[in-house]
Chain A
Amino acid sequence: QVQLQESGPGLVKPSETLSLTCTVSGDSVTSGSFYWSWIRQPPGKGLECLGYSYSSGSTKYNPSLKSRVVISVDTSKNQFSLELTSVTAADTAVYFCARGDVFDGFDSWGQGILVTVSS
């Protein structure tokens, strides 16, 4: 049973960079045809996929983030990470990491981490 766990600061200042890590246990980030994704949910709102990365390094990002996002996979640590630059209050959200597959959806999720953007 794969498990995912987000970690990182819960408070980030405006204009700075939000950095989160997702640690994967119970399976390897190189197994299967999965992609590794970050999804966020502003308080009281819906879900937004920021993008995803395969373990090969191939990535896809949501154009709405205008090149502010980078997702990378570290196969040696069995982790993947998110960097979101130039944050504003609009980036305040619960951030989830998730394992996905184009045919099977997101079958495993982390518990989520609340990140607040405030000075």
Chain B
Amino acid sequence: DIQLTQSPSSLSASVGDRVTITCRASQDIGNYLHWYQQKPGKAPKLLIYAAVTLHSGVPSRFSGGASGADFTLTISSLQPEDFATYYCQHSYSTPLTFGGGTKVDVK
């Protein structure tokens, strides 16, 4: 199975901060990497697909990056509605797996 390791597992930030979350794959997965935002009691929402492509309706302050097996999700200026947990997920092969999540909370 392909393992996805997210870091950090949690972080504290303030509104307006630039936030970067990393997801490292255990092997090459091309760009078959996607990012989701989940708020308590809600289903995850797709933010970024194919590592760098912004999903429809997602604010442009979210961006994705890729370098080899390392992927990043960046929020350029954190907004109050962005406090949530973020997950990466690969679709390179079965089983599809998710990273362990990164919780972004208020500093």
**Chain A residues within CB distance 8 Å of chain B:** 37, 46-49, 51-52, 60-64, 96, 98, 100-107, 109-112
Contact = CB atoms under 8 A, between A and B. Distances in A.
Interface string B43-62: 11110011000010000000
A47 B50 contact: no
B52 to A, nearest CB: 12
Contacts of B42: 111-112
B46 A102 contact: no
B43 A110 contact: yes
B interface, how many residues as a size bin? 20 to 34
A102 B43 contact: no
A105 B95 contact: no
What secondary structure prevails in chain B residues at the interface with A? Answer: loop
Interface in B24-48: 32, 34, 36, 42-46
Residue of A46, A47, A101, A110 most packed against chain B (CB within 10 A): A47
Given A103-B50, A104-B49, A106-B34, A47 B94 contact: no
B71 interface: no
Contacts, number: 70
B90 to A, nearest CB: 9
A117 to B, nearest CB: 20
Interface string B67-107: 00000000000000000000101010011111111000000
Given A47-B87, A49-B96, A49-B98, A105 B43 contact: no
Given A51-B95, A103-B49, 11 more contacts: A37-B96, A47-B87, A47-B101, A96-B43, A102-B32, A105-B89, A106-B44, A106-B46, A107-B46, A107-B49, A109-B43
A84 B75 CA distance: 38
B91 A100 contact: yes
B91 A47 contact: no
Contacts of A37: 96
A3 B32 CA distance: 24
B85 to A, nearest CB: 9
